[in-house]
Structure 1
Amino acid sequence: MAIYIDCLYCIDGNMPAGIHGVLGPVYQPCPVCMFVCPSCEGDGIFAADYTCLPCLRQRLARLGLAAVLCGYCLGVVDLIPIDTVPEVTRDDHHH
């Protein structure tokens, strides 16, 4: 019978990553237990106070911001002002 010892760095694969000025408390996947994202190299953060992405996006929009998400892990890698986000038309062409 194998005895498993809990990771000393995280809780269920997530470790606290501080308090972000806009996102509030954030976490990152534990680099000891989990894989490091090959796209953002582990820089993506996840807002602890939000359980759904649309809720986070709406909150950020009220602040005039949009989240730039990692295309692989969907962690937030940057926040940008909404006026810098290109408008996409119905034909998926940027203006």
Structure 2
Amino acid sequence: SDEFRSGACHAGQYESSVVLAARPELVREAARQALPDNPASLSEAIRAGKSTFVEAGGPQAYFGFPRQASAEEGRQTIELMASLVVEAVKEAFA
């Protein structure tokens, strides 16, 4: 996803979608819906030497767009990750 490529993906749309698909009971839906978007890039902050979520621009310990998450996107992401793992294993033993 664009969010994943941007590095703004800790507990955002990408990860929240996977959890909504796999373990929806772990998602506090009212809290997720109340979170504002946080486009700050965690990966860029780490490369810049930031060592805490606050320093990285995520004082609530999330990055990205959690309100945009969906179980359907999570199912698609899980399927894609599974196919990537299968392909990597096949290549490793070819």
**More helix per residue:** 2
- TM-score, structure 1 length as denominator? 0.20
**More strand per residue:** 1
- TM-score, structure 2 length as denominator? 0.20
Q: Which has the larger radius of gyration?
A: 1
Larger RCO, structure (CA 8 Å, separation 6 or more): 2
